[in-house]
Amino acid sequence: MKTKYECRASVALAALMLALSGCIQDEILYAGTSNSDAVSENTATDCSSSGSSSGGTTSGGGSSSGTGTVTAPVITVEEVAADLVANTTFDRTIRIVYAAAGATVTGDENKIVSVNGNDVTVDNTGDTAEKVKFVLSGKSSDGFFKVYNSQRQAIVLDGLDLKNPAGAAINNQGKKRCFVVVQGDNALADGPSYTDTPSDEDEKGVFFSEGQLLFSGDGTLTVTATGKSGIVSDDYVRFLAAPVVKVTSSAGHGIRGKDAVIVTDGTLTADVSAQMKKGVSSDSLVRFEGGATTLKITGGTAYDSEDKDYSGSAGVKADQVFQMLGGSLTVTNAGTGGKGISGDGAGYFQGGTVSVTVTGSNYGSSSSGGRPGSSSSSSSSVAAKGIKFDGNLYFTGASVQVSAKAHEGIESKGTILVSDGMVSSVSSGDDAINASSTFTITGGFVSGISSANDGLDANGNLYIKGGVVYAAGAGSPEVAVDANTEGGYKLYVEGGVLFAIGGLENGASLSQGCYSASSWSRGTWYGVTVGSTSHAFKTPSSGGSGLIVSGASQPSVQAGVTATGGTASPDGAARLDCTLSGGSSVSLSAYSGGNGMGGNGMGGGWGPR
């Protein structure tokens, strides 16, 4: 049976998908909150990219009309007041000090704490249960803190160094909010076995809670997991205020919230070396609102006996919804078949800064090239990708940089929309950015550079309606910008500024004029001026032939320029709204499209996952 939080998350995801596919407005609930905490989110969509274009509707169902914009969902979430420890009044404070001779307790007037050496158990249930603040300090290499609680509680870590070689160091069996206030330097660790765990109880990590875990404070917490995961809640985990939390796991996930993981503030680091495990994981929602999060993943792919399939590691895995609203997120994954950020549902990049570097190789092999549906594809193949979502991807304000060595940099099994922000993706193994369905660019900056396949690729229609676009493909038959012409779809260039190395897909609809440079050089800065606005792009050192530019009016192009001012792209290969100096003029001629088939619009994929 699903929990109330899982049901809410499912309803939220269904509402999002319905709104996006059916052009309706709906109200969804904030996944991961209790009944008293639920707040609404407005999801607005604009379906002006559907309908007929002046060039006619293609057999693939694609065309463009109207303004050509699709508004990404607007998700507004208020701070949940109940998650702030300052908004709870506690009935009493109990202090527990761990030491070699055993733990000592003060302030326990109701005798709810029992001590056996450094094994400390609290029973704060029943009619006399109070809201208690537990202050933990001292040191023990063989002890634990375990709470049975029917009320909200606070656990203040005030210079605590606690290891339990036979289970969780801190185990909260209460299902109410658990405020974790981090003061001074603290360390928690488990051991290789969990023999302390009763058969009728969960205990999934070094710091485990049945209820919400809400971190705040100005101290440091170091968590070392060698038996299971690091920090786990069967509800949700949220990081507030400004603690420094460092998790190292050689056995399980770094941080896992079944219903959600939310980073509002603080400095969060997770280093995970276990195979197929994740730095941050949730069955529902992962949301970054602020703070600085750094995830280092080195674990590879393994067989998951529960799912009966092979599974790779990931920096972030959100089973239903991923949101990047603010702060910074840095992910590196060196594991075989590993991902940077992945999700089974939709991904929203609305603010903040994201950097993803995936250097691992693909896991397994496929003699067929791994195209979906191939009977000869290996069932155990798992591709190493930068950002990969089964649902739609929306880039509406974040700065995103992705580098992938073996496979796609960014991939959506649904649609991709870029309406604002900056998105840069580089791949030396496959497409830089690939959408299994429609790919639409209405604003912002998009850069896709591939030395192995297409720069930008859609298995449906690909629309360039606005923004600044830089694309480079590997060379024939791969192109800079590709749509699935073989499936009856098209590439539409209708607006924005385009700088493309390697040509455009055959049969493209170029309602905005495109021009071919008479000559160009690799590894060189080029300036493109449209009207009174200039941008600069550095050509790749390898790849396809042919330089194509497009703008609202015929651009002027200079080679060998120096660009100053403006805004640098996340990968440093472009500078927008800049001032140009030096360089020599490049002559242009009209371009009508074509320069290869772009890998048949299939994304050049290897491996089914």
Give the DSSP H or E segment for 185. strand 185-189
Residue pair 288/325 in contact (Cβ under 8 Å)? The answer is yes
Q: Angle 244-246-248 (CA atoms, 0-180°, nearest 5)?
A: 175
The reply to whether 110 and 246 lie within a common domain is: yes
pLDDT, tens digit, for every residue of 252-299?
999 999 999 999 999 999 999 999 999 999 999 999 999 999 999 999
The reply to whether 173 and 195 lie within a common domain is: yes
The reply to whether 159 and 263 lie within a common domain is: yes
pLDDT at position 543 is 75
Whole-number Å distance between alpha carbons of 68 and 464: 9
**Domain end among 273, 306, 338:** 273
**Domain end among 273, 302, 317:** 273
pLDDT at position 71 is 35
Please check the confidence at residue 165 and state whether its pLDDT lies above 90.
Answer: yes
CA distances from 260 to 256, 442, 587 (A): 8, 31, 55
Judge whether 283 lies within some domain: no
Q: Angle 6-81-33 (CA atoms, 0-180°, nearest 5)?
A: 5
The reply to whether 116 and 49 lie within a common domain is: no
Residue pair 399/574 in contact (Cβ under 8 Å)? The answer is no
pLDDT at position 286 is 95
Whole-number Å distance between alpha carbons of 413 and 150: 43
Judge whether 508 lies within some domain: no
Q: Is 170 exposed, middle or buried (0-12, 13-18, 19+ CB in 10 A)?
A: buried
pLDDT, the chain, mean = 85
pLDDT at position 6 is 41
Beta strand spans in 266-415 (E): 267-272, 278-282, 285-288, 292-297, 302-304, 309-311, 314-318, 321-324, 328-333, 339-343, 346-349, 353-358, 385-389, 393-404, 410-412
Whole-number Å distance between alpha carbons of 415 and 245: 35
State percent of the chain over pLDDT 70.
82
Judge whether 32 lies within some domain: yes
Number of structural domains the chain divides into: 3
- 197 pLDDT tier (thresholds 50, 70, 90): confident
- More confident position, 598 or 152: 152
Judge whether 185 lies within some domain: yes
The reply to whether 147 and 242 lie within a common domain is: yes
The reply to whether 34 and 108 lie within a common domain is: no
Judge whether 126 lies within some domain: yes
Distance from the Cα of residue 525 to its chain's centroid: 31
**40-49, 101-110, 295-304: range with lowest mean pLDDT:** 40-49
pLDDT, tens digit, for every residue of 307-338?
889 999 999 999 999 999 999 999 999 999 99
CA-closest candidate to residue 333, choices 223, 409, 435? 409
Judge whether 173 lies within some domain: yes
- 365 pLDDT tier (thresholds 50, 70, 90): low
**Model's pTM, two decimal places?**
0.86
pLDDT at position 608 is 31
- 46 pLDDT tier (thresholds 50, 70, 90): very low
CA-closest candidate to residue 232, choices 295, 190, 186? 190
Please check the confidence at residue 526 and state whether its pLDDT lies above 70.
Answer: yes
Whole-number Å distance between alpha carbons of 52 and 62: 8
Q: Tell me the residue range of the domain where 146 lies.
A: 91-273
Please check the confidence at residue 187 and state whether its pLDDT lies above 50.
Answer: yes
The reply to whether 47 and 194 lie within a common domain is: no
The reply to whether 115 and 250 lie within a common domain is: yes
The reply to whether 104 and 178 lie within a common domain is: yes
pLDDT at position 81 is 84
Judge whether 72 lies within some domain: yes
Please check the confidence at residue 455 and state whether its pLDDT lies above 50.
Answer: yes
Beta strands at 113-116 and 119-124: parallel, antiparallel or unpaired: antiparallel
- More confident position, 475 or 359: 359
The reply to whether 41 and 154 lie within a common domain is: no
DSSP letters, 378-414, are -TT-B--EEEEESS-EEEEEEEEEEEESSS-SEEESS
16, two tokens? 């999002």
Whole-number Å distance between alpha carbons of 238 and 85: 12
- More confident position, 370 or 94: 94
Judge whether 544 lies within some domain: yes
Residue pair 362/336 in contact (Cβ under 8 Å)? The answer is yes
The reply to whether 67 and 205 lie within a common domain is: no
The reply to whether 15 and 124 lie within a common domain is: no
